[in-house]
Chain A
Amino acid sequence: MTRYGPDEHDVLIVGGGGAGLRAAIAVAEANPKLKIAVISKVYPMRSHTVSAEGGSAAVIKSNDSLDEHAYDTISGSDWLCDQNAVEEFVNEAPKELLQLEHWGCPWSREPDGSISVRSFGGMKIKRTWYAADKTGFHMLHTLFQTTMKYDRIHRYDEYFVTSLMVDDGRCQGVVAIELTTGKINAIAARSVILCTGGCGRVFPYTTNANIKSGDGMALAYRAGVPMKDMEFVQYHPTGLPFTGILITEAARAEGGYLLNKDGYRYLQDYDLGKPEPKPVLRSMELGPRDRLSQAFEKEHEKGQTIEGPFGPFVHLDIKHLGEDVINEKIPFVRELCLKYENIDPVKEYIPVRPVVHYMMGGIHTDIHGATPLEGLYAAGEAACVSINGANRLGSNSLTECLVFGARAGKAAAENASQGKSFSRNLEAIAMDEGRRIEKAYLSNRSGKTKNSESIVTIREEMHQAMKDGAGIFRTEKSLKESQNAIQELQDRLLRTSIGDTSYTFNTELTSAMELSYMLDVAEAVIQSALKRDESRGSHQRSDHPGRDDDKFLVHSLAYKTEKDLPRIDYLPVTITRWPPGERIYGR
């Protein structure tokens, strides 16, 4: 028995989604002696990877090449990704997807039994593997079921991580609340991998699940690790208006049209090519997401979108694909439309609008998933390696979870294999953390009621501020206003205590803590956006139109400061073989 009993591990993975589970298996295979644990605030199969629909990109067909995939990714990123990372990524992508096939993933197939691929936005060649339109679901369940094979992978299901334990200059584990009991635990680990996904919930309309509150990003940020490229927020052009539910890009890849209020394929007016009856790769509806979402905003300014009770929308038309193709290739689209909008896309238009979908930015890591803090790694949407730069291409993110999940797993295993011993004061760190939580959120428990303002009001005001100030188009003025609002909300949250004082499954407590994470992430998003006086990819500054490679062909790094606004540093972008050029679609 060691000092921390069963709560001592070699590698601890925070988050049980695609990246986290892939990392866990990678560690298990890298070194059979290591003790591995996956900690998650939900059961792993509830993780948001489950909602990914369209597919996962990797070169597999003979008409394709790694360079083509790399070029599509780099031009899609508006040259802000690191090209060495992209080269590693496209190179390892096919191996990772095949590995998943060998674990049983039910990929859709060609009649001869080989893997089937579909087209996707911004990709010049068909290379997106898919499992109908529930790719993320099948990937996650395949991974989760595969991890069940490994008895060495211990799971802390429904544990909410409140902070990283950093001592002696290295990350040595986490402090977490066991939700079912309310007990605060010190869980020590020689390597910690953050795979907690993004933070779409900072915004009001998002495809993201309720759990996506940027927990891992904020944990690292608070521990002094920089957030990279946080100003780049991806809007997916086709979400359902009220719920924000994602209608996959595969709907357009199979041949869907985007129509304005006059039934006109408006993308042709935005330098995205000419309308053809059949889908053309890297053109029109298969352009990249940033350009499509921006086109929607411009179309709205022209008054050519349709007004609905939940804001403007346009129509996605897939009727002409026919019932058979829809049922075979995109059945989930039909299921979601029937269930949530009461419309049948076989016969009717689907109302869609851009909704927040993905954070290109995240925890700063190198190509091995290592952060600047010793012992801390990150992978998946939570991390920024960066292969996504200023705009991610659809179907690259699931692959990213696998490739960089595995890489981070290997690197973390190697680090843990050194067998460094733990600091003596980890338990004291956890005790302090317990007191901090008690004081910050639960003063009602001891009857010392603070301000009883509802966290709901603060959350709603945060949504409004982010929507108004940090949307698809931003200006210095709008961002400044949001910044002030977020700062004020941070103060107000500090003065608030929650009503639920229970120890058992206190979701009001976790919501309040998630809100504080989101406000920290929001702060980094806004400050990074404010300092980038150019327009690139998904970051469009109306007051600074046009890309400025002289000044801004760099990654932003946001560092948390004690009381002040985050400090922004810059890091040069790695260019290997593709010098910055014009992004051309449909020409």
Chain B
Amino acid sequence: MDSRESTTSRTDDAGVEIPYQRFRPKRYQPRMSIFWWIHKKVYLRFIIRELTSVFVAIYAVILIVKLNALLRGPESWEVMTAALATPFSIVLHVIILLFVVYHSITWFLLAPTATVVRLGRKRIPDSAIIAVNFLMWLVLSVAVGWIILAV
């Protein structure tokens, strides 16, 4: 048993010294590159999902600004609606709509992962939970649409 800690002074092919100490091997800790998400499709999809959620946030901000304008009175509301009618704003809103729809779909598809619903002793299948979510979405959208168009 050689318990003395002798250091080898070897170098590797590139001439770099290997810091090996007997009985104390260095572990190799791989580093993650900042572009880790590019190499794998699933990660890329995940990053797209994460990044595009910014648009959902933007819409939330717009909504708050709108409410604020409404509270300040008719004049500021006029300015607000004028700003919303610009081509830039319309394009932005179309983009936001697309991503919100995308996020709603991914959200509803994941819903059964987090929710386990039981009817008596039977667990409701995932597909049913997804279906109910989409149905509610449709019903609410129709209701909101009806209110807006009726007014």
Contacts and interface: CB of A to CB of B under 8 A. Distances in A.
Interface in B50-83: none
Interface in B79-106: none
A434 B2 contact: yes
B1 A503 contact: no
A200 B25 CA distance: 34
A331 interface: no
A400 B24 CA distance: 40
B22 interface: yes
A182 B1 contact: no
Interface string B12-27: 0000000000111100
A181 B1 contact: no
Contacts of B25: 180-181, 503-504
A181 B2 contact: no
A435 B24 CA distance: 20
A489 B49 CA distance: 62
B8 to A, nearest CB: 10
A495 interface: no
B33 to A, nearest CB: 27
Interface in A167-224: 180-184
Contacts of A431: 1
B29 interface: no
Chain A: interface residue count, which band? 10 to 19
Contact of B24 (A181, A430, A433): A181
A241 to B, nearest CB: 37
Contacts of B115: none
B86 to A, nearest CB: 60
Contacts of B2: 434
A431 B22 CA distance: 17
Nearest to A430: B1
Interface in A433-448: 433-435
B9 interface: no
Nearest to A182: B23
A434 B1 CA distance: 5
B23 A433 contact: no
A321 to B, nearest CB: 24
Contacts of A180: 25
B3 interface: yes
B41 to A, nearest CB: 25
A180 B25 CA distance: 8
A375 B90 CA distance: 84
A108 B2 CA distance: 52
Interface in A403-443: 430-431, 433-435
B6 to A, nearest CB: 11
Contacts of B24: 181
Contacts of B23: 181-183, 503
Nearest to A432: B1
Contacts of A182: 22-23
A434 B23 CA distance: 14
A161 B31 CA distance: 35
Interface in A8-44: none
A435 B2 CA distance: 9
A303 B37 CA distance: 60
A62 B2 CA distance: 62
Nearest to B2: A434
Contacts of B1: 184, 430-431, 433-435
Contacts of B3: 183
Contacts of A504: 25
A464 to B, nearest CB: 37
B26 to A, nearest CB: 10
A182 B5 CA distance: 12
A188 B23 CA distance: 20
Contacts of A181: 23-25
A180 B23 CA distance: 8
With most chain B CB atoms within 10 A of its CB, the pick from A180, A184, A504 is A504
A506 to B, nearest CB: 11
Nearest to B24: A181
A5 to B, nearest CB: 12
Interface string A493-527: 00000000001100000000000000000000000
A504 B25 CA distance: 7
Nearest to B27: A180
A349 B116 CA distance: 38
Nearest to A505: B25
A70 B1 CA distance: 50
Nearest to A427: B1
Contacts of A430: 1
Contacts of A183: 3, 23
A184 B22 CA distance: 12
Contacts of B22: 182, 503
Nearest to A186: B1
A445 to B, nearest CB: 11
Contacts of A503: 22-23, 25
A531 B82 CA distance: 104
Interface of B: 1-3, 22-25
Given A181-B25, A431-B1, 17 more contacts: A180-B25, A181-B23, A181-B24, A182-B22, A182-B23, A183-B3, A183-B23, A184-B1, A430-B1, A433-B1, A434-B1, A434-B2, A435-B1, A503-B22, A503-B23, A503-B25, A504-B25
The 7 closest A-B pairs by CB, nearest first: A434-B1, A504-B25, A183-B23, A181-B23, A431-B1, A184-B1, A430-B1
19 contacts: A180-B25, A181-B23, A181-B24, A181-B25, A182-B22, A182-B23, A183-B3, A183-B23, A184-B1, A430-B1, A431-B1, A433-B1, A434-B1, A434-B2, A435-B1, A503-B22, A503-B23, A503-B25, A504-B25
